[in-house]
Structure formats: structure tokens, C-alpha cells
Chains A and B, each alone.
Chain A
Amino acid sequence: MSGSTNDPTLRGRRIGLSYESAANLFCRDLVDGVREAAAARGVEVIARDSAQSPRRQLADISALLDEGVDVLVISALDPPSLTGALAAAEARGIPVFTVDRGADGPVVSHVTSDNQMGGRLAAGLLLEALGGEGEVAIVGLPSASSVEERLRGFKDALSGQSAVRLVAEVSGESNRQQARAVAAALLRDHPNLAGIFAINDVTVQGVLGAIHEAGRSASAVVVGYDATPQGCEEIMRGGPLRGEVAQFPQRIGHTVVDLWADYLRGVAVPGRVEIPVELVTRENVERFTGAERLLRVQRGEVRIAGERVVFFPVRGYQMLLNEIYAASPDLLRHIVYRSGFVLGESIARQVGELYPDPRDHLFVLLEDLSRSGFGSFELLDLDLDTGRAEVQGHDLFEAAIAPDLAWAHSPRCVDTYCSGRLAGYLSVIFQRPAASEEIACQARGDGYCRFAISAEAR
């Protein structure tokens, strides 16, 4: 960041930011970057989540203009539909910048990752892993401009390699299940297939599933994109995923604010700025999984993956429960369960947009719960027809503090918050209210905690 809180040019101004979806980690990081750079200059950010809806984005932009923002920063979901909105901004003298996804029209500057470079880096790693020869395939996503750039870079890098043959290019539709299905078909149709380029995190997970299922983990290698925590974990595990290309959305956010500041000062700004990407491999993966990537602390605010969090010891939670119990014991179970439920429901709705397949959806939610320190969770069963699921947990934080809970006065199931959270998740996945029963608990001496979640009868 080049600015400071003393920048008189910007202080008191407002940025109107319209982006794809808060469910997307990339977007949250990008918004976080804009906020950080703006806060450093005393600028307010009014951010609008379009939730993957072009219509909503159009309405958001219109509202931002009506609110009198000084600049618009847009990640365009559907560029053609924004033509009128951009014209309206221009008519009001409001400059427009685009980030990640560009738009046609009066745009001052577009800031995005260097996706062509990303494609080339991916190809290089794949070539290295294959020893410069073998059959490769792409599991991609047509019609997304950023993906087109990645593939262009990837194919360019392969073009001079006569010993490497691109045998297939299929679409995983940015859907784990679909990616798994098309990758399974690729592996079946091409028994000598040695390498796959998967164009984003969801696709990577589907491809890895297919390779594992086909028993080709030892012979096939994968290079992916995005380097999400989940992807980084796979790289560290040492399986078929050799590496991924990491983008830096936060830097995109910083850059766009810097460009706007320059623009206001009358400095000429480039029409397109590409933020370098970086290759994540087993050698450097720890740099990308460390807290410094996900965790940001600034002026008393801590954010993880863009969301504000507060840390306090687990015994702080225990004390909170004990105080509620002392004040009104009968409310405790309801409060704890319901608070888990409503947050679980909210998170599941956000994430659901990215994971149309219910199993993927639940898998990601359970992963998130595990990563957040609630304990480890494993899906035992999911039956969408009957509306039943069973989840098993180990070392859940509530069971760990049970001995110090005033109300857990005899061995009992204590994971009420986790139970509510799971019920919230499954209510979204089953698309009808669901309830969770804890049927085993380590706090009462069972070998694990187990939850049976059932949906209301239709």
C-alpha cells in the first residue's frame, strides 16, 4: 500500500464495491484488501455482495450510485448487462474500476491476476513432474475469461513439447461432482493419461477423487489453481496433487485503491494491471498455509479469510455457558443449540452457491468446522431421499470442556452447539428444517461423538 491516513485527497470519500459472492474465499480476500487500503487512507467502503446474481449486481450498482459513492469498484458477473450502469456512472462523473472480472465500457482500469502466467507456471510444473513426456488432459470451464487466459498460457507452454500430448480438454463445470465424473471418464478412456491440469479448487477436489477411485494415485499427477487451504493440504499430503497456482486477491484490492488515488491526483493510470501469481509446490507450500496468509490483524480487528473473528480461550466459552446457566438454566440448551443452528444455516446458504452437489457442500462445511477448531468431523451417511445424515466427531471442543461445565453434572452428551450447527447445515442441504440428536459423546465415555440429523417429514 502506498497511501496513509494522512492522504487529504481521499479522506472522507467513499468506495462503492460490488463483487460476486461472499461465499467465495477469493472474493472475501479481495474485499479485505480493498478495505485495508481504504482504511489506511481514511476512506469508507460500502461493499455489496451480489451472491452470484447479475440482476442483483445491477441493482447494487444503481443503489451505490444513488448513495453518492465517489468511485465504483466492480467484479463483473455479466459484463454485457452492466453497460447501462457504467454509462450512468460516467454521466455522474463517477470513475469505474474493475477487478478480477472485467467489463466493457468506460472503465478507468482493470486489475486482475496474471492468469496467462498462471497457466504457464502450471504447465511447467506438470512437465517437470512428468519428466517432459506423457499424455495430459485439461479439466476446465469454458466461457470464463480468466480461465480462458489460464488455458492459453498452459497450452502455449506445452506447444513446444513434442513428447507431451494433450489428449483431451473437458469441462468440470466448476462442480466437484461433475469434475469427478469427467475425470473418471478421462482415466478410463486414456489408460496412459499421466497428468491433469484442473483449473480451480473445486475441480481439483473432483479430479483427485476420481484418481483415487481409479487406483491411479501412484501414476497420475495433477496441477491445480487457487491454492485454497484445502488444496494446500493435499499438496502437503504428498499425493497426486503436485502443486497449484496461487492468486493474491488481497493485492488486487490494494492495487485498485492505489490506482484510484493516483487517478484522483491526476496521475495517468494503466488500463490493465496484472498481479503476478505464484506457484505453490511441496517445497514452498507451508508459506501458503501459514497463519500469515489467512489471518490478518489490523487496528484491533482480526480477520480470517476476510471474516472478522475474536479469539478467546475455550474456557471463556465455558464461562459464558456457566453464566447463562446460573442466570436461567432452562434457557441454556436452547440458546446454545439455536445459536449453532442459525450460524450453520447461514454459512451453509453462502457456501451452497459454490457447491451445488449436496455431498460436496456438506463435505466442505465439515472441513470448515474442523479447520475452525471445533474438532474433527466425518460424514458417515447422507441420504437425501429420507432426509437423514449421520456425522461422527472426535475431540470436539465442547466435550473437552465438559468437566468444567456447571450444568454437565453427570456424564452426558454435551456437544449442543455442534449439534445445532450440523442441524443448520443439513436444513439447507435437505431444503427443509432438520434437527440433530447427539447419540454418542466422548464426554460420557463413548469412543466418539455421533450425531443423527433428520429432516422434517415432507
Chain B
Amino acid sequence: MESRREGGLGVVELVPTGIAGFDELLGGGLVAGTMALVEGAPGTGKTTLGLGFIHHGVVARGEPGLVLTFEEVPQQLYRDALNFGWDLRRLVEAGTLSVICLTPDVLQRYLADPEEIWQRLARGISPRRVLIDSVTHLRQLTDDPVRLREILNLFLSGMRRHGLTALLLKELESRGGESIPFEEYAVDAVIRLTYAPQGDDGARQRFLEVLKTRGQEHVPGRHSFAFAENGLRVYPRPRPRPITPSRGERHVFLGIAGLDQLFEGGIPTPAQVMLVGDTGVGKTLSALLFTHEGLTCGEWCGFVDCDEVPAMTRRTLAHFGLVTTAHERLGRLRFIDAYGRAGGGEEIAVHDPSNLDEFLNVEDRLLDTLRARGEVRLCVDGLSTILATSRYQAAIEFVAARLHNLRARQIVGLDTYTAGVLEPRLMNAIAQHYDLVLSMRFGEVHGAPIRLAAVEKYRFGKVAREEHIFSVDPRIGIIFHKAALQG
């Protein structure tokens, strides 16, 4: 067990659940001896969460486990667990795990001798962690709510006496009347799993929320989670950080020399830049130049690829003579693959780009790593793609949360949006959150196609707002032409 000292409360022992991201919400794990209720509708992931907790205890921490199931026979549990690489049968054979399938009748007999119940159930393995799947089945023992509460308390007090840490799974009942089930009062912690519709297209997303923890703090709010290869992975939503005042007059440039000339002396940090443009107009190249500028100036850079895999982006960089191999090797440039296709081979990836919490979480971890080393510049190429399936309010909140965090950490950011992907109302609302908004579009002069760029918004001063003609040379890249478009 790990220990943690809490202000004024002495040393508190923590039991890490081993579920990626979940322990972060709890400040490191459950307080030892906690009886935690995990409630959720069928199929939300309760059993997987519980088995992950037990497996981690046995395998990673040498803490024997006990699984009491009223629902499934052990063989079914073993088979399901193997999907996540957990060989429970081997642990049972090794004597570090006990899996007991109970019928109500058998349980009734055990309850007749409450003092010995835990030794008998554990069959001599001295468990430290317990999973009960599920307490809902205790209702089969009696219709009397008073007796039911007594039975539950009998379970809980027995476990507490033996210093066990337990997860008690429970089918979530209708919340229409908002009556709170008595189990929530009896336990120390309540964790709720939901599987709710999110996007405009009705796509569902899984969320985990810690409703209660007795004797320890937790990160409130709903946090999305997903089934990963080795169990559940929770994506804690980054907590808003206090914005620290800028440490001086650091100014940065966009890396597009012709455009930078418009901002005499550079753009103050931590500016957040929105670049909106037509498909194929040069947004990605601009994003790459922005990133290359950061590398040239010794910044630590992140590049999030939402519209293609980073391998393609690297090819584009090389094509324009912006090779970054060494910078990547040195960790000065890190790519995040947020394209969402399997097999990208990147070290850092957002597996489900429509999951905004996962996106924020992955991005936040990268920024933690980079920020520890120096000034940071972040570019997200194709953010409109990420937001395309989100609801209006969720998208706004996401953008606000991201930019708040970037500003709080003094990080300069540039996000590209493809024109026409998001609703105009949403685009307008999003633009409100940025300091600098640039537009790039295709136009026509005397029947000839041209590219035009303009500064739509600049929070830090006055800038000429006329459109500038630019071109994209296949070798050189973006070339701004001196003359602005008149009329």
C-alpha cells in the first residue's frame, strides 16, 4: 500500500486501484478500508472496473483478492477477464485469489455465522481486496428493507473488521424520482458509471463520476472512460489552473515571415491563435511553420494531428525542407496522433478523437511533460474535425477549458479549423475565446484563382485588416506578396 500524508489528518494509507486515470481522481487511490459502491446500468463497465481493481492488487501489489459473484459462474468471469489479459484462473490456482459463486441460499447459511463469514469465504487466503458483484442480489434474500439493510451492514462491518478494501457493484435503478438507495449511505465512497448520448448524432459515451468519498478528496465531475486493452482507462478532465501573470514581455512569431511583419515586435505570450481556412488553402503548412518557428527559437513543441497521421505530416515537413528528425529525437517536438485510425504507430495517440475528455487528457499529459522543460508551443491541426460530432455546449466548454489551461501554463497555441465543418454560430462562439483569429481562403482576381489571408481579430493591438495575397510554392512553402488586395 502507498501512504499519503494529509494536512491535519495524519498518515492515510491509499490503495491504488490500478485503473489508469481513476487513481488520479482519487489523489492516488482509495483510502484503505474503504467500502466503495460502484453503480451503473448494465453494460457500463462495473465488472471490468471491479476485476481490474482485484487483478491489480494481486499481480502488482501482492494483495490477495476475493471475488464474490451472484451473477456469473467463475468460468464466465475467467473468460471475460482474459479479454483484458487477466488470467484469474492462474491466480486462483496460485492461491492468491478466491472466486466464489454464491446462491442466495448459500449466502443465507453463511449469514448464520457472521463472525466467521470472512474467513470461510476467503478460504484461508487472507484477502486484502474484495469485489462483490453485485449487492443488488442481496435483495433476493428478503423483501424487508430493514432486514436488507442489516444484511448489508453485516457484510460491511465484517469487511471493515478485517481491514479489507472493497468494491460493491450495484445495478443502477431508475433515477427518475431521485430517491437515493440506502447503499449509498452505508458505504464510504460512491462511483457512478454511465453510458450517455453525447453528440448531435446520438453517439454514446462512457463517463465515470465519483459522487462521494469519505475521508478523502476527489476530483468532481464526469470524466469519460473507455475500454482499453488492459482494462478501463479513465480520462480525468483537466482541472482549471489559476492563470499566472506573464513573466515579462516575451513575444513570439507565427513563423510565416510575411504574416509576422504585420505584428511588429511579435505577439505577446500566451496568445491563442485560431486559423480558419478553406480545405487545401495552406492551413497545415501554416501550422507546421508555426511549429518550426517554435523549434528554431528553442521552444518545446507539441503537434496534434487530427486530419492525418503524423507520418504524413512528417513527409510534408520534409517536402518543404523543414526536417525535424533530430528535434523529435531530442524530445523537443512531440506528435499526438488524433486521427483516430488504428495502427498509427505513434507513441502518443488519442484513440477516440470524438471523446473530448480523452483528447484533453492526452494533451494535458503531453503539456505537463513539455512544460517541465521550458517554453512550450502547441499546435492542433484540424480541431474542427474533433468538434464536428460534439454538441454545441460541449464544444464551447471544451474550447474554453483548453484555452484556459494553455493560458494558465503560459503556452502559445495555434488551432486550425476547416471552414464549413462547424456551424457558423458555433464558429463565432469559438472565435470569441481566441486572441488572434486568422482566415485563409481561396479567391479570384480577373478569373484567376488566388489565395487570400486576413487578420480577423487581434486582441493585443491594431493590425491592418485588409486581405493579403499569398501563394504556396511547392518547394518554398507559403509566400506572402507585398501588396494587399485592394477593393
Contacts and interface: CB of A to CB of B under 8 A. Distances in A.
Interface of A: 325, 327-334, 337, 407, 409-413, 435-439, 444-446, 452, 454, 456
B297 A444 contact: yes
B330 A410 contact: no
A437 B327 contact: yes
Given A331-B476, A452-B326, A412 B257 contact: no
Contacts of A411: 297-298
Nearest to A445: B298
A36 B266 CA distance: 54
Interface stretch (B105-113, B147-155, B248-256, B344-352): B248-256
A338 to B, nearest CB: 8
> Which of A325, A438, A445, A452 has the most B CB atoms < 10 Å from its CB?
A452
Contact of B326 (A334, A409, A437): A437
A410 B266 contact: yes
Interface in B27-74: none
A446 B330 CA distance: 15
Nearest to B477: A330
Contacts of B261: 329
A454 B321 contact: no
A454 B253 contact: no
Contacts of A436: 323
Interface string B233-271: 000000000000000000111001110110001100000
B258 A329 contact: yes
22 contacts: A329-B258, A329-B261, A330-B257, A330-B476, A330-B478, A331-B479, A334-B321, A334-B476, A337-B321, A409-B253, A410-B252, A410-B266, A411-B298, A412-B297, A412-B298, A413-B296, A437-B325, A439-B326, A444-B297, A452-B326, A454-B326, A456-B318
Contacts of B256: 330
B325 A410 contact: no
A330 B480 contact: yes
A413 B326 CA distance: 14
Interface in B316-332: 318, 321, 323-327, 329-330, 332
B475 interface: yes
A444 B325 CA distance: 21
A412 B324 CA distance: 16
A27 to B, nearest CB: 35
Given A410-B297, A411-B298, A435-B321, 9 more contacts: A329-B261, A407-B257, A410-B252, A412-B297, A413-B298, A435-B318, A435-B323, A452-B329, A454-B326
Contact of A329 (B260, B327, B329): B260
Nearest to A337: B321
| List of 7 A-B pairs having minimum Cβ-Cβ separation, nearest first | A452-B326, A329-B257, A435-B323, A330-B479, A334-B476, A412-B297, A437-B326
A48 to B, nearest CB: 34
B296 A325 contact: no
B479 A328 contact: yes
A334 B253 CA distance: 18
Contacts of A330: 256-258, 476-480
Nearest to B323: A435
Interface of B: 251-253, 256-258, 260-261, 265-266, 295-298, 318, 321, 323-327, 329-330, 332, 475-480, 482
A106 B59 CA distance: 93
A439 B297 CA distance: 10
A454 B325 CA distance: 8
> Which of B257, B260, B265, B318 has the most A CB atoms < 10 Å from its CB?
B257
B476 A412 contact: no
A334 B478 CA distance: 11
Nearest to B471: A330
Contacts of B251: 410
A1 to B, nearest CB: 49
A172 to B, nearest CB: 36
B296 A412 contact: yes
A212 B323 CA distance: 38
Contact of B475 (A325, A328, A334, A407): A334
B253 to A, nearest CB: 7
Contacts of B325: 435, 437, 452, 454
Nearest to B479: A330
A438 B295 CA distance: 9
B452 to A, nearest CB: 16
A50 B323 CA distance: 37
B324 A437 contact: yes
Contacts of B253: 409-410
A440 to B, nearest CB: 8
Nearest to B293: A412
Contacts of B480: 329-330
A156 to B, nearest CB: 56
Contact of B257 (A325, A437, A438, A445): A325
B297 A437 contact: no
Contacts of A444: 297-298
Contacts of B298: 411-413, 444-446
Contacts of A331: 476, 479
Contacts of B252: 410
A331 B256 CA distance: 10
A87 B195 CA distance: 96
A324 to B, nearest CB: 11
A409 B329 CA distance: 27
B243 to A, nearest CB: 23
Contacts of B477: 330, 334
A439 B292 CA distance: 11
B301 to A, nearest CB: 13
B327 A332 contact: no
A430 to B, nearest CB: 13
Contact of A409 (B266, B323, B324, B475): B266
Contacts of B332: 439
B323 A437 contact: yes
B373 to A, nearest CB: 14
A327 B483 CA distance: 11
Contacts of A337: 321
Nearest to B470: A330
A418 to B, nearest CB: 14
Contacts of A435: 318, 321, 323, 325
A411 B297 CA distance: 6
A409 B252 CA distance: 9
A341 to B, nearest CB: 9
Nearest to A390: B326
Nearest to A436: B323
Contacts of A407: 257
A322 to B, nearest CB: 12
A20 B401 CA distance: 70
A454 B257 CA distance: 26
A327 B298 CA distance: 27
A44 B175 CA distance: 102
Nearest to A453: B326
> Which of B325, B475, B479 has the most A CB atoms < 10 Å from its CB?
B325
Nearest to A438: B296
A329 B480 CA distance: 8
A437 B291 CA distance: 14
Nearest to B476: A334
A454 B332 CA distance: 16
Contacts of A456: 318
Contact of A439 (B266, B321, B330, B482): B330
A329 to B, nearest CB: 3
Contacts of A325: 257
B472 to A, nearest CB: 10
Contacts of A446: 298
